[in-house]
Structure 1
């Protein structure tokens, strides 16, 4: 089941050396793909050296913003980058481009195929089944994404844990090229990645995002599924998630960026929040490799989100492993274990291990409710005084007291977060 970008990439690498068939559930490559909008480029260049010239890149990210929202108050930090390491795009466009490159190299893609089961015979994966059709294979590479129904049937993955998943919902607001640059303060071709925390998620672990496309803005929110469900059951969350996106779109501070724009698209997807906690029981087996989201390879530190590049890197390592197995004529678990060795020595695994404590931060509502309010109130005390202005320390202490957070507790939480983010 070689879906989306991972399957397209593996077909690209392997097509000239060994026959490969990729299946896609949707109509055309990438039709089922959805994400916020930002991709880190270098891991993709490792597969496609001409990425910068040929890929459907909308804008190179030159500015990063992070905003804390408390009511109508917004406190924003902006960084003008020294060099661009990421770009914005629509994932279906990128996947179609990848698939096209793979097909040019001789790979075969069959779309509108739903794989129902991974076939096992004598303790070895031997192919897949779709309806009444059977496709035999020496190796099956599972890139089915977050909903790992096939791996669950094999007993290699547990049912989804809502504590390790987030629901993302977004709108594409069409503005026009010049309007994007004028409203977001960008030069021609420049892009912006903007993450939001606070009232945008109603204090629920999660946040908001804004990415500038060529002629549009990708605007949305992300909510941790378990916390959103608890908030809904407890009555704290009474509105549909689409209303929360609308709240962001109509917020007095943000609406000027896309006023009079047209909502061209609306979409939603599940995303991994658990990092290493979402990795399946096995990444390889006799005749089977697991890559991308299905392997739990996504990192969200709160200020960066890396998924596409992790998926591509894992696909590259899987393809290299299969090529070695093909050369040896041996697709056993012992030979395919080289995939896990590659993965665990790569930047992907090292990043996941380094930031593994992020789960504690992401599950603490203090960072999503109290902290944005503390920051907004501190800034308000410093800049909204009529006569006497407090010192910065006085402003911080007053804001902490109003939010019921002792200074030492806040310091401990922030120090812990800084060591894990």
Structure 2
């Protein structure tokens, strides 16, 4: 690597940054990754779940040693009230693409090491404080008083993309486009997890919850089984949380004590606690993805989709890292780092990442602003099922009568119809 200038500098050693670094180094390019954490992954957090098609795209046939936790073979969707819960438990044995639970501290460190193995240089424990801009082009980074020059800079800063924001290359994140994730990891033996979730080693469960778990705040709760731990937590809409004036930690503590969930973590040792901002503004809130000498990837670009039943971000981070690396490689070949040339990055994102964000562009608005989504509907569904199962010695009612009994006085039928129709178009 030249002592005076790198071909590419990447800000952030998370999934997007390390994916870009791996691809660039594999192609023989000079790439430097500057990571704020003491080690890659030390400060990163996710629910979390990774769809492995992205890994296959990044390193075809070469990710067998990735520190993935359990393959997700069961999907549980749970509706919760104060005292009750109703869950739909689905098992799929024939999905064409795999997904696994992951722990970011392990996975990010592994991915960064893969990038280093093929020639990328990592500088951990260093905070980028600014960009070098010459004649309107990004020409490097600043770490306090030190300047490091590069032909191209890739931002993989995460949702708080302060370097790009302070340089005026992207707009500040709007509070309405952000969610807050709160996560706990409980250590349990592999055998205990297998027994509690009726599964076997290597196979696991993804659970999403709605209703009482969020105290009416837009969002939901999650649970993922790892090899020898359970990840459990909440995601709440930031504006909804602000309006509720509820202490989020207290909401989370009550959620963990709910009888439907407490049994899964009973006796477990709390080994990790973290919180994280999540970009959920979607397609309408995307920043400028490229400028002269500059590309934005992953969470910094807002590449996250929440459609209620699934939340995706890590796979998009990898795919955007690949697209950034391919664009950087072409720019180096052409010796052209202009905004006009770097538009190729957006073109490479269109077939999957941008297409998905556009398809689900109304999902965040629907989830965050559907009045009954996280209050009335979970209660209705739970009550309906409770009434169906209850036998109290009175004459039996048809299901239509039980549904009517549960709905009357709580929500207008027309509102239900509108929400169903809107949800079908948005999700």
TM-score normalised by length of structure 1: 0.95
**Aligned counterpart, 1:13:** 23
Deviation at 1:274, TM superposition (A): 1.1
**Aligned counterpart, 2:232:** 219
Contact kept in structure 1, 2:185 and 2:271, CA below 8 Å: yes
Alignment pair present for 1:367 and 2:373 = yes
Match of 1:210 among 223, 236, 260: 223
Deviation at 1:299, TM superposition (A): 0.5
Contact kept in structure 2, 1:162 and 1:224, CA below 8 Å: no
Distance 2:252 2:39 in 1: 29
- What SS is found at the alignment partner of 1:390? coil
Distance 2:163 2:286 in 1: 15
| CA offsets 1:316-364 (integer angstroms, 9 cap, x no match) | 00000000111111111121111011112x2111111111111222122
Alignment pair present for 1:47 and 2:58 = yes
**Aligned counterpart, 2:165:** 152
Contact kept in structure 2, 1:68 and 1:197, CA below 8 Å: yes
Alignment pair present for 1:298 and 2:309 = no
**Aligned counterpart, 2:259:** 252
- What SS is found at the alignment partner of 1:13? helix
**Aligned counterpart, 1:34:** 45
Distance 1:152 1:380 in 2: 51
**Aligned counterpart, 1:92:** 105
- What SS is found at the alignment partner of 1:119? strand
Contact kept in structure 1, 2:169 and 2:291, CA below 8 Å: no
Match of 2:249 among 195, 218, 242: 242
Match of 1:181 among 187, 194, 199: 194
Distance 2:168 2:400 in 1: 55
Match of 2:177 among 158, 161, 164: 164
**Aligned counterpart, 1:117:** 130
Distance 2:280 2:122 in 1: 30
| Alignment map for 1:197-346 (pairs within 5 Å) | 197-232=210-245, 237=246, 240-280=247-287, 282-344=288-350, 346=351
Unaligned runs of 5+ in 2: 1-10
Deviation at 1:155, TM superposition (A): 2.1
Deviation at 1:389, TM superposition (A): 2.6
- What SS is found at the alignment partner of 1:138? strand
| CA offsets 1:165-187 (integer angstroms, 9 cap, x no match) | 11110111111101111101112
**Aligned counterpart, 1:349:** 354
Deviation at 1:415, TM superposition (A): 2.0
| Alignment map for 1:106-145 (pairs within 5 Å) | 106-145=119-158
Alignment pair present for 1:3 and 2:13 = yes
Alignment pair present for 1:418 and 2:418 = no
**Aligned counterpart, 2:395:** 388
**Aligned counterpart, 2:6:** none
Alignment pair present for 1:59 and 2:70 = yes
| CA offsets 1:226-249 (integer angstroms, 9 cap, x no match) | 0110110xxxx2xx2122222122
**Aligned counterpart, 1:358:** 363
RMSD: 1.3
Contact kept in structure 1, 2:12 and 2:158, CA below 8 Å: no
Deviation at 1:279, TM superposition (A): 1.0
**Aligned counterpart, 1:398:** 405
Distance 1:388 1:12 in 2: 67
Unaligned runs of 5+ in 1: none
Distance 2:272 2:365 in 1: 34
- What SS is found at the alignment partner of 2:30? coil
| CA offsets 1:374-415 (integer angstroms, 9 cap, x no match) | 111111221124122322222222211142x11122022112
| CA offsets 1:175-232 (integer angstroms, 9 cap, x no match) | 1101111101112211100000001000110110000000111010111010110110
